[in-house]
C-alpha cells in the first residue's frame, strides 16, 4: 500500500470516496482519496479490502464519513487505462441497487467484463508478443460451407466470429493449434492482427467496418407487409426530433409473422440517425445465428456480441467498442443490458416472455424490466417482441403503459398455421415414451422427404431408476431430489447440484438387482426413435449434447441443410430456429406442469408449447403438431390446439385476480438456506417478526401481507436446507417502501449460519 493515507500538512478537507465493491455487505465503503489521485464517480479503482486488493467503482466523492478518518484506508490506485463509467450507466446501476435492494457495487461489478473486475493490468496496451487472430469475411462464409466432419475448424471459426482472440487462448483450447492456424490462414479464413491495437483492431477483423453511408443497408430486406410496415412506422415515429423519445412497445406477433424484419427495419432507421441499437436475446445458443443475420443485413456497421459464453478478452473488446461508440449494434443475453452505449437509440428485447431474462443468482434482476427503465432514462423506444407475451407485459398494455403492435399473419403467405391433434395416453400405450400414433406420423413425414421435431421437456435418459422389488429410487445425497439416469455416461447425475454417482448394482433398501429406468428423458426418446427408424439421421439437442461451444449451432446448421431427418430435444429446440422443411412437431410429455405448485407453471407451459408448435411448417409446406397427453381437456392444450394464446391468458388472468397474484399484486421472496435447520428457523422467525413490526411502523396504506415461512420447492440443495418467506403488496410503492426498512433491519440480524437474499418480482416461487 502506498504511504499516502493522510500525509501531514494535507489540506484541511480530506476527500473521501464512496466505493461500491462486489460484496453483499454495505451499499458502499468509504476510502480516503490520496492527493495525487484523480477520482470521480464512475472510475474503477483498486482498494485494499481485508487482506486482499480488489477492484471497486467510485459512486460518489465528498468530505463526509460516518467512520473516524483514522480508521479509513486509502485508495491504492485508479484504473487510468479505462474511461470512467458514464453518468447515465451509473444512474442505471443506482436504479437497480434501489429497486432490487442490492449493493450498487455488486450490480456494477457483475455488469462489467471480467477483465475489468480483476486487479491485473488491462490488455489494451498489449505487448507485441501477444499475437491475435481474427476471422475474415471468407472465414465467416466458410462456417456454413464446411462439411460436418471438419468440426474442429468449424468450431474455431465460430469462436472467432464473436471477435478476435489471442493466439495463446487458442493454444489453450486446441493441442495442435499452430498446425490448425496455419491451415486456416492458408485458406484465407483467418488473419493475424496487431494485438497492441486490439480494441480498434476489432474493426479490422470485421472488414466492413469503415462506415460508409448505408445506401445498401437494406439491400436484402424483403418488402414489408402491411402489419409489419405499420409497426415500423409506429416505432420510428418515436425517433422524430420533436417526439418525446421514449415509448415502450409490445410487438405481439405469432411465430413466423416476421418480427425480426420489424426489428431490422427499426434498427436501420436508428443507424441512419447515427445512433446505436441494443438487442437482447434469451439464449447464448441463439446469439450466433441472430448475429450473423444482423451482420449480413448491416455489412457497413460494426456489431458487437455480449454474452457469458465469450472469452474474457472478446467481452472486454466488445464492451470497449460499445463504450467508445465504435460498435453500432450490441447483441447479447441479459448481461448485455448493462453495456455502455453513449448514442443509444433503440432497445429490442426478443422473446420478452423468456424466463432466462431473469438472473437467478447473485443480484436477481430482470433484464427485460431493467431494459424498460434504461429506455425511459435514455429517452429511446423499446420493443418487446413475442408470440406469447408474458402476462405482466400484457397487463402493462392493458394499463396503457405499453403500446401493442400486432402481427396477425404469417409473413410467408402460403405458410398456414399447423393443425394440432392429440394422442390420449390413457387410451394408447407409450412403451419407451412414444406411442405408435406418434411413430406413424413421424414416418409419414420423413417419407415425404420432410423433417420431424420431437420435443420432450426433460434431459437425461430417465428421470429415475426404480427397484422392481420395493419401489426404491436413488436420491441425491445432498438434495431432496432423485438422481437422473444418464445412459450415455452410464452414471446417475443430480440436476440440481451436479453431483454424479456410479450406477448402483443393487437396491439400497431390499438389495434386489432388479433396477430399471422409469419415465422418459431426451436420451431415452432418442433411443426409442433410433430403434424405430434405424436408417434415419437423428440428432439430439439438449444441454448435455451441446456442452461444447458451437455444437448446437453445428446441429442446427446441418438440420437446415437437410442432413438430419429427426431432431429430438428439450426446450432448446423451442426457440427461434427456422427450418423450412420441418413440417412435423411431436410433443411426447409435457404434463408435468399440470401438477406444479408454481402459479406460473401453466403460463410457461403454454408459451413453450405455442413456441414449439410454431416450429412446424414455416415455409411453403403445411405443418402438423401431435401432442401425447393424459389431459386433453386442459386449458393450456386447448389454447395450443386453437392457436388462441389470448384465450389462455384471459382464463389465467381471472384466476390470478381471484387469487390476488401478479399482475394484481406485487411479490418479493426472502430466500434462505443453511446447513443448520434450527438456525434457519430462528432466522426466519426473526425475519417474520421484523416484517410485522416494520409494517406497523412504515406502511400507512396497508395492503401488505407477510406469509408464513415455507420450505422451498427443492427442500434441500447441495447439503443446504432451503426455506422462503413471501411478501405480497397491493402496489409497487408500498412494496418498495416496506423492503427498504425491512431489509435494513434484516442486515442487523445475526445470520452467520444462514445465507439469504431478497428476490424482488420472483419468477419462480
Q: Using CB under 6 A as the criterion, which residues of the chain lie in contact with ligand ADP when the complex forms? A: 222-225, 228, 253, 255-261, 411-412, 578
Please give the Cα distance from 193 to 213 (Å, whole number): 26
Nearer to ligand ADP, 623 or 709 (CB): 623
Count of residues that interact with Zn ion, criterion CB under 5 A? 15
Classify residue 683 as exposed, middle or buried by CB count within 10 Å of its CB (0-12, 13-18, 19+): buried
Site string for Zn ion, 510-529 (x = CB under 5 A): x-x-----------------
Whole-number Å distance between alpha carbons of 286 and 564: 19
- Among 26, 119, 470, 677, the residue binding Zn ion under the rule CB under 5 A is 470
**Interface segment toward Zn ion; rule CB under 5 A; list 116-124, 248-256, 505-513, 563-571:** 505-513
What is the rounded end-to-end Cα distance, in angstroms, of the chain?
A: 47
Residue closer to Zn ion, measured from CB, 37 or 464: 464
> Residues with Cβ < 8 Å from 191, sequence gap 6 or more?
133, 134, 136, 185, 205
User: Minimal distance in Å, beta carbon 463 to Zn ion?
Assistant: 14
With H, G, I as helix, E, B as strand and everything else as coil, classify residue 328.
coil
- Contact criterion met (CB below 8 Å) for 160 and 190: yes
Least Å distance between CB 510 and Zn ion? 4
Q: Residue 541 binds which one of ligand ADP, Zn ion, none, with CB within 5 to 8 A depending on kind?
A: none
CB of 622 to ligand ADP, least distance (A): 15
Does residue 714 interact with Zn ion by CB under 5 A? no
601-613 vs 645-659: helix crossing angle, rounded to 10? 170
Q: By CB under 5 A, is residue 509 in contact with Zn ion?
A: yes
Which of 165, 166, 156, 164 lies closest to 204 in space, CA to CA?
A: 164
* Complex with ligand ADP: residue 224 or 483, whichever CB lies closer: 224
- Alpha-carbon span 495 to 550, nearest angstrom: 23
Q: Report the partner that residue 370 touches, choosing among Zn ion, ligand ADP, none (CB closer than 5 to 8 A by kind).
A: none
Tell me the window of 81-89, 494-502, 535-543, 701-709 that interacts with Zn ion (CB under 5 A): 494-502
Q: What CA–CA distance (Å, rounded) separates 119 from 105? A: 15
> Could you tell me if 99 and 106 are in contact, meaning their C-beta atoms sit under 8 angstroms apart?
no
- Work out what residue 225 binds among Zn ion, ligand ADP, none; the CB cut-off runs from 5 to 8 Å by kind: ligand ADP
CB of 441 to ligand ADP, least distance (A): 24
- Nearer to Zn ion by C-beta: 484 or 573? 484
Q: Does 466 sit near Zn ion (CB under 5 A)?
A: no
| 507 contact, one of Zn ion, ligand ADP, none, CB 5-8 Å limit per kind | Zn ion
**543: alpha, beta or left, given left = phi > 0 and alpha = psi -120 to 50?**
alpha
Check if the beta carbon of residue 6 is closer than 8 Å to that of residue 14: yes
The minimum distance between CB 387 and ligand ADP, in angstroms, equals: 6
Give the residue with the Cβ less far from ligand ADP, 350 or 761. 350
Tell me if 491 contacts Zn ion by CB under 5 A. Answer: no
Q: Which is nearer to ligand ADP, 17 or 264 (CB)?
A: 264
Q: b/e per residue, 428-443, with b = 16+ CB within 10 A?
A: eebeebbbebbbebbe
- Residue with smaller CB distance to ligand ADP, 292 or 755: 292
Based on CB atoms, which residue is closest to Zn ion, 284 or 718? 718
User: Residue 507 interacts with Zn ion (CB under 5 A)?
Assistant: yes
For residue 407, give the DSSP letter: E
Q: In terms of DSSP bridges, do strands 491-493 and 451-456 run parallel, antiparallel, or are they unpaired?
A: unpaired
Query: Which of the choices ligand ADP, Zn ion, none does residue 179 contact, using the CB cut-off of 5 to 8 A by kind?
Result: none
Is the CB of 245 or the CB of 469 nearer to Zn ion? 469
Between 260 and 694, name the residue whose CB sits nearer to ligand ADP.
260
What secondary structure letter does DSSP report for 224? P
Whether residue 216 is preceded by a cis peptide bond, meaning omega within 30 degrees of 0, is: no
| Cα 413 from Cα 428, distance rounded (Å) | 37
Question: For residues 143 and 479, which CB has a smaller minimum distance to Zn ion in the complex?
Answer: 479
Nearest approach in angstroms of CB 254 to ligand ADP is 7
Binding span for Zn ion by CB under 5 A among 293-301, 330-338, 493-501, 561-569: 493-501
Q: Are 235 and 277 in contact (CB under 8 A)?
A: no
H-type alpha helices, 450-573? 522-532, 551-560
Determine the Cα–Cα distance for residues 588 and 600; give it in Å rounded to an integer: 21
β partners of residue 216: none
| Residue 222, contacted partner among ligand ADP, Zn ion, none, CB below 5-8 A by kind | ligand ADP
Residue 707, binding choice from ligand ADP, Zn ion, none, Cβ under 5 to 8 Å by partner class: none
Pick the closer one to ligand ADP by CB: 228 or 574: 228
Among Zn ion, ligand ADP, none, what does residue 256 contact (CB within 5–8 Å per kind)? Answer: ligand ADP
Which CB atom, from 675 or from 705, has the smaller least distance to Zn ion? 675
CB of 259 to ligand ADP, least distance (A): 3
Q: Are 599 and 659 in contact (CB under 8 A)?
A: yes
504 binds Zn ion (CB under 5 A): no
478 is a contact residue toward Zn ion (CB under 5 A) = yes
- The CA distance from 132 to 123, in Å, is 12
Taking CB under 5 A as the criterion, the residue among 49, 95, 246, 472 binding Zn ion is: 472
Q: How many CB atoms lie within 10 A of CB 681?
A: 16
Q: Which does 43 bind (CB under 5 to 8 A by kind): Zn ion, ligand ADP, none?
A: none
The item of Zn ion, ligand ADP, none sharing an interface with residue 525, based on CB under 5 to 8 Å by kind, is none
DSSP per-residue codes, 636-675? HHHHHHTT-HHHHHHHHHHHHHHHT-TTSSEEEEEEEEES
Residue 415 burial class via C-beta count within 10 angstroms: exposed 0-12, middle 13-18, buried 19 and up? buried
Which of 496, 536, 537, 543 forms a contact with Zn ion (CB under 5 A)?
Answer: 496
CA 678 distance to own-chain centroid: 35
**How far is it, in rounded angstroms, from Cα 736 to Cα 761?**
11
**Residue 25 touches which of ligand ADP, Zn ion, none (Cβ within 5-8 Å per kind):** none
Positions that interact with Zn ion (CB under 5 A):
467, 469-470, 472, 476, 478-479, 494, 496-497, 499, 507, 509-510, 512
Amino acid at each position: 500500500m502506498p504511504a499516502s493515507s493522510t500525509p501531514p500538512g494535507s489540506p484541511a478537507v480530506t476527500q473521501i470516496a464512496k466505493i461500491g465493491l462486489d460484496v453483499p455487505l454495505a451499499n458502499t465503503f468509504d476510502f480516503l482519496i490520496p492527493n495525487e489521485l484523480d477520482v470521480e464517480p464512475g472510475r474503477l479503482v483498486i482498494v485494499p479490502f481485508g487482506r486482499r486488493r480488489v477492484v471497486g467503482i467510485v459512486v460518489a466523492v465528498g468530505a463526509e464519513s460516518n467512520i473516524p478518518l483514522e480508521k479509513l484506508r486509502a485508495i491504492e490506485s485508479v484504473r487510468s487505462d479505462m474511461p470512467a463509467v458514464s453518468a447515465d450507466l451509473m444512474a442505471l446501476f443506482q436504479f437497480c441497487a434501489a429497486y432490487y435492494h442490492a449493493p450498487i457495487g455488486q450490480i456494477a461489478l457483475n455488469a462489467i467484463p471480467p477483465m475489468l473486475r480483476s486487479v491485473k493490468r488491462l490488455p489494451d496496451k498489449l505487448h507485441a508478443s501477444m499475437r491475435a487472430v481474427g476471422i475474415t469475411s471468407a472465414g465467416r462464409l466458410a462456417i456454413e460451407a464446411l462439411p460436418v466432419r471438419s468440426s474442429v475448424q468449424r468450431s474455431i471459426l465460430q469462436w472467432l466470429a464473436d471477435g478476435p482472440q489471442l493466439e495463446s487462448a487458442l493454444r489453450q483450447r486446441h493441442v495442435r493449434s499452430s498446425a490448425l492456424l496455419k491451415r486456416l490462414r492458408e485458406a484465407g479464413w483467418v488473419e493475424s492482427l496487431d494485438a497492441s491495437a486490439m480494441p480498434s483492431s476489432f474493426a479490422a477483423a470485421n472488414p466492413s467496418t469503415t462506415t460508409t453511408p448505408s445506401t445498401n443497408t437494406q439491400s436484402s430486406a424483403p418488402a414489408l407487409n402491411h402489419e409489419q410496415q405499420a409497426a415500423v412506422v409506429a416505432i420510428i415515429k418515436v425517433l422524430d426530433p420533436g417526439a418525446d423519445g421514449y415509448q415502450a412497445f409490445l410487438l405481439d406477433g405469432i411465430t413466423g409473422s416476421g418480427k425480426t424484419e420489424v426489428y431490422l427495419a427499426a434498427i436501420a432507421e436508428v443507424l441512419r440517425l447515427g445512433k446505436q441499437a441494443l438487442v437482447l436475446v434469451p439464449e447464448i445458443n441463439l446469439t450466433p445465428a441472430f448475429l450473423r443475420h444482423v451482420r449480413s443485413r448491416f455489412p457497413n456497421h460494426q456489431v458487437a456480441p455480449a454474452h457469458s459464453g465469450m472469452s474474457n478478452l472478446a467481452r472486454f473488446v466488445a464492451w470497449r467498442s460499445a463504450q467508445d461508440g465504435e460498435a453500432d449494434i450490441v447483441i447479447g443475453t441479459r448481461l448485455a443490458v448493462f453495456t455502455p452505449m453513449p448514442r443509444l437509440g433503440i432497445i429490442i428485447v426478443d422473446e420478452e416472455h423468456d424466463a432466462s431474462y431473469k438472473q437467478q443468482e447473485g443480484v436477481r434482476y430482470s433484464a427485460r424490466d431493467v431494459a424498460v427503465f434504461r429506455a425511459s432514462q435514455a429517452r429511446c423506444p423499446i420493443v418487446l417482441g413475442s408470440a406469447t407475451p408474458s402476462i405482466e407485459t400484457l397487463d402493462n398494455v392493458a394499463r396503457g403503459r405499453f403500446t401493442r403492435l400486432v402481427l396477425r399473419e404469417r409473413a410467408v403467405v402460403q405458410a398456414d398455421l399447423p393443425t394440432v391433434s392429440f394422442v390420449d395416453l390413457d387410451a394408447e400405450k407409450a412403451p419407451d415414451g412414444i406411442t405408435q400414433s406418434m411413430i406413424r406420423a413421424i414416418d409419414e413425414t420423413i417419407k415425404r422427404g420432410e423433417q420431424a421435431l420431437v420435443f420432450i421437456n426433460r434431459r437425461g435418459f430417465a428421470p429415475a431408476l426404480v427397484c422392481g422389488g420395493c419401489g426404491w429410487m436413488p436420491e441425491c445425497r445432498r438434495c431432496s431430489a432423485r438422481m437422473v439416469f444418464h445412459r450415455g455416461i452410464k452414471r446417475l447425475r443430480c440436476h440440481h447440484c451436479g453431483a454424479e454417482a456410479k450406477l448402483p448394482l443393487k437396491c439400497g433398501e431390499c438389495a434386489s438387482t432388479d433396477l430399471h429406468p422409469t419415465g422418459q428423458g431426451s436420451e431415452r426418446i432418442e433411443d426409442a426413435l433410433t430403434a424405430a427408424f434405424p436408417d434415419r439421421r437423428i440428432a439430439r439437442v439438449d444441454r448435455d449434447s451441446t456442452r461444447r461451444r458451437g455444437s448446437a449451432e453445428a446441429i442446427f446448421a446441418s438440420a437446415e441443410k437437410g442432413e438430419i431427418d429427426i431432431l429430438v430435444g428439450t426446450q432448446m429446440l423451442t426457440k427461434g430456429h427456422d427450418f423450412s422443411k420441418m413440417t412435423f412437431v411431436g410433443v411426447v410429455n409435457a404434463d408435468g406442469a399440470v401438477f406444479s405448485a408454481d402459479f406460473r407453471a401453466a403460463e410457461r407451459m403454454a408459451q413453450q408449447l405455442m413456441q414449439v408448435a410454431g416450429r412446424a411448417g414455416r415455409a411453403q409446406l403445411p405443418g402438423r403438431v401431435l401432442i401425447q397427453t393424459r389431459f386433453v381437456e386442459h386449458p393450456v392444450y386447448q389454447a395450443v390446439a386453437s392457436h388462441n394464446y389470448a384465450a389462455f391468458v384471459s382464463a389465467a388472468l381471472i384466476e390470478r385476480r381471484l387469487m390476488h397474484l401478479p399482475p394484481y399484486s406485487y411479490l418479493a421472496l426472502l430466500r434462505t438456506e443453511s446447513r443448520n435447520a434450527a438456525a434457519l428457523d430462528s432466522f426466519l422467525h426473526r425475519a417474520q417478526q421484523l416484517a410485522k413490526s416494520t409494517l406497523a411502523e412504515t406502511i400507512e396504506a396497508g395492503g401488505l401481507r407477510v406469509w408464513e415461512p415455507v420450505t422451498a420447492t427443492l427442500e434441500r440443495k447441495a447439503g443446504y436446507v432451503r426455506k422462503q418467506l413471501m411478501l405480497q403488496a397491493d402496489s409497487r410503492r408500498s412494496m418498495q417502501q416496506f423492503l427498504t426498512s425491512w431489509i435494513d433491519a434484516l442486515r442487523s440480524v445475526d445470520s452467520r449460519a444462514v445465507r439469504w437474499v431478497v428476490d424482488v418480482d420472483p419468477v419462480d416461487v
